[in-house]
Structure 1
Amino acid sequence: MAAEISDGGACGLHPKKGFTSYPSSLKLAAVEDYLSGEGSLDAMCRKYGISSHAVLQQWITLYNQGHRDFKTRRAQEESGMAEKKKLSYEEKLQAVLYCIGHRLDYRQASEQYKITYQQIYNWVKKYQEQGETGLLDRR
């Protein structure tokens, strides 16, 4: 079995530091080109400068699940921090029941109630384990 050769030349031998960030437009273009049969995973990685097949395959999975916006990691972190807010017990309960009523669509519930995905996920988990008392603030 032949070893795979990178187009990075001598620079490709140096270890990378940190994560590579890709613009949403590049992600979408690469996925749509691949799905329309424009080339193989390898060809798309070379064409768009994507670090590995696994990265592109992850984008394809997200795309097929309906996450077509492809927010960058930084945009997700910034929006998550901006949206986090404290809700009353009644508002938490309402958000949890909304999420459960919409087949555990955490993303939709987080957008509806202007809270983070992690907040609604944790509240639903507590509600399922402990009932309404799981949502009480015990501080």
Structure 2
Amino acid sequence: MAKKNEYSAGAKLRILRELESGEGTRMEVARKHNISVQTLVTWRHRYERYGMNGLEIQARNRRYSADLKMKAVEDYLSGQYSQYELIDKYQIASRTQLKNWIDKYNRHSSYKSVDEGANAMTKGRSTTWQERIEIVLYCTANQRDYGKTAAQFKVSYNQVYQWVKKHEEGGEDALQDGRGRKKAPEEL
């Protein structure tokens, strides 16, 4: 398969014209130019919708608000629209982008607007046993939003995740730090 953005807008248009003139089937034209059939379909759809601008190579990724992402996913899940209709309605770059949002929704993850930016990784810090219990209870009370909990208590995402996991498996006692103590003979 061709590398991403290997073809200029003019080359894409020539390939589409070749397909439209009947010089071959989708599969034949795709093989001839070392691209997938889905790529041909995408190019055709973008050309029909946006003209030559739809075939241009994007210099940077498009930005979408969290609200737009949520509306697009809800519309898709309602069953009233196809993926292509939603791509047109919300001017989404691709079906893959929409699919990623749907997958994220189904995993119960939260959407971030690109303008909000990604949270920087927070370095873990030392905590007391009582603090860890409080953090776990807060996280479970907030639908396991590990990121929000980590930001609230200024600990790392990974720490919160591990503490919740330990709490589920062994209760509050599992949150105690057992490093540096000698094991009793029956524990060996």
Give the TM-score range, shorter chain.
0.5 to 0.7
Greater relative contact order: 1 or 2 (C-alpha under 8 angstroms, separation 6 or more)?
A: 1
Deviation of 1:72 (Å): 1.8
Deviation of 1:59 (Å): 0.5
Report how many residues are paired.
122
Within the candidate set 33, 36, 52, 2:94 is matched to: 52
Ranges in structure 2 where 5+ consecutive residues have no aligned partner: 1-24, 27-39, 164-176, 180-188
C-alpha separation between the residues in 2 aligned to 1:108 and 1:132? 27
User: Sequence identity, in percent?
Assistant: 28
Poorly superposed stretches of 4+, deviation over 2 Å: 83-91, 105-109, 111-121
Deviation of 1:38 (Å): 1.8
Deviations 1:51-98 (A, max 9, x none): 01111011111111222x411234242xx24x846633547x938x94
**Equivalent in the alignment of 2:113:** 72
**Equivalent in the alignment of 2:55:** 13
C-alpha separation between the residues in 2 aligned to 1:119 and 1:19? 32
C-alpha separation between the residues in 2 aligned to 1:86 and 1:34? 39
**Equivalent in the alignment of 2:132:** 94
Residue 30 in structure 1 maps to residue 68 in structure 2: no
C-alpha separation between the residues in 1 aligned to 2:159 and 2:62? 28
Q: Secondary structure at the match of 2:76?
A: helix
> Considering only CA atoms, is the larger Rg found in Structure 1 or Structure 2?
2
TM-score under structure 2 normalisation?
Answer: 0.49
Residue 114 in structure 1 maps to residue 154 in structure 2: yes
Q: CA RMSD in A?
A: 3.8
TM-score under structure 1 normalisation?
Answer: 0.63
C-alpha separation between the residues in 1 aligned to 2:115 and 2:65? 11
CA contact (8 A) 2:73 2:101 kept: yes
Q: Name the CA shift for 1:8/1:119 in 2 (closer, same or farther; >3 Å).
A: farther
Deviation of 1:9 (Å): 0.8
